[in-house]
Amino acid sequence: MSVRAAVQAAFGPDLTIDGTDSIHRFSLVWWARVHAPGGDVPAVVKRTWGSGQHALEAWQRVLVGRGVRTVAPLLPPVDVTIEEDGEGRRERWVAYPRLRGRGWDGSSTDVAAAGRLLGTMHAASTDLAIEGFPVFEWGTDAADSIAEDVEAVRRSTAEHWPHADPGPWIAALERFGDTLRAMRAAALPCIPASLDHRAANLLFDDEGAMTVDLENAALAPRLLDLALAVLLFPLEDVGCAGRALSGEEWRAFLAGYLAEAPPLGATERSAWPTALEYMRMEWGTWHLTEGVETDPANLAYLEDLLTLDAERFALP
């Protein structure tokens, strides 16, 4: 039985998957219809990767209830047994509402709308306690792990960006232990946070931005969510201009964010440069090494990330 057929069987008569081809480049996602008493509801069906699924669903429902433009499950998620190569594995699949919108058009207007959306998410999540919510996993300062990352950056740079200088990134990796300790010692307030707020997971319309993917969420300092959003915003998106966000685009994103989010406190402002370096090293290193996607625009974006002067994203 194909994966699609197994998922259809697991949902049963409550849902019909439309078409056979996945609508996503990197994972299996299908258009579908949920059969509700008032009529069919357009939906998408996808595998859910998140841990703490019940807590994640509770957060999604709170966000939707508080006016955040995102999705919450239309039906209880189902467990599906996938048979491949004579072995079975269990996966969890979910049906979300199908949001209508377009992709990022590359404009600062859309970037500002994305900032406003992140701000509304943080405002809606502040002081929100959800039992069992996944907890942010900090990186490791183990010497062997850092040494492996240093060598991986050297190899990847030589292969993909032979004219770029990885020296500053490697120097930052070698002081990662200090960065990690400083970040943890800051004891910043934590909230349920997306940790994947980038253009590839957003849609846009005349009202602004909406997010369709909250699967990587964790209880984390919102400052790290903001840092990751600005660093990885163009990642793997067709609207990517072959670079990280410009300083002007960052200021548009931040203005949108601050218009909706609780004000950044003095401790958060002081910790901002450390938060940027932490997320560059912890998440950016993976995308520069194991997670490289070789689309030309994405490769150019990653080169810009590799050689980025973090002052581009300074707080005013």
- Statement to judge: residues 168 and 250 lie in one domain: yes
Domain count, the chain: 2
| Any domain includes 77 | yes
CA 263 to chain centre: 22
pLDDT at 50: 60
| Any domain includes 227 | yes
- Statement to judge: residues 225 and 287 lie in one domain: yes
Token pair 């409550």: residue = 14
Q: Which of 97, 123, 156 is the last residue of a domain?
A: 97
- Statement to judge: residues 68 and 129 lie in one domain: no
pLDDT at 257: 98
pLDDT averaged per 10 residues, the chain (length 316): 89 93 86 94 87 88 96 92 77 93 95 98 94 94 97 97 97 97 94 96 97 93 98 91 96 98 96 98 96 92 96 96
Q: Which of 97, 129, 154 is the last residue of a domain?
A: 97
- Statement to judge: residues 61 and 147 lie in one domain: no
CA 13 to chain centre: 32
* Secondary structure in 3-state letters for 229-266: HHHHCCCCCCCCCCCCCCHHHHHHHHHHHHHHCCCCCH
Domain that holds residue 222: 108-313
| Any domain includes 285 | yes
- Statement to judge: residues 122 and 39 lie in one domain: no
- Statement to judge: residues 188 and 243 lie in one domain: yes
Q: Which of 49, 75, 97 is the last residue of a domain?
A: 97
- Statement to judge: residues 156 and 197 lie in one domain: yes
- Statement to judge: residues 264 and 117 lie in one domain: yes
**Among 309, 289, 313, 277, which residue's Cα sits nearest to residue 139?**
277
| Any domain includes 102 | no
**In this structure, what CATH number is given to the domain that contains residue 217?**
3.90.1200.10
- Statement to judge: residues 78 and 161 lie in one domain: no
- Statement to judge: residues 141 and 181 lie in one domain: yes
- Statement to judge: residues 203 and 293 lie in one domain: yes
Give the Cα separation of 275 and 161 in Å (integer): 26
| Any domain includes 115 | yes
Give the Cα separation of 90 and 105 in Å (integer): 38
**In this structure, what CATH number is given to the domain that contains residue 10?**
3.30.200
Two structure tokens written together for 83: 């048979």
| Any domain includes 181 | yes
Rounded to 10°, the helix 53-65/108-125 angle is: 110
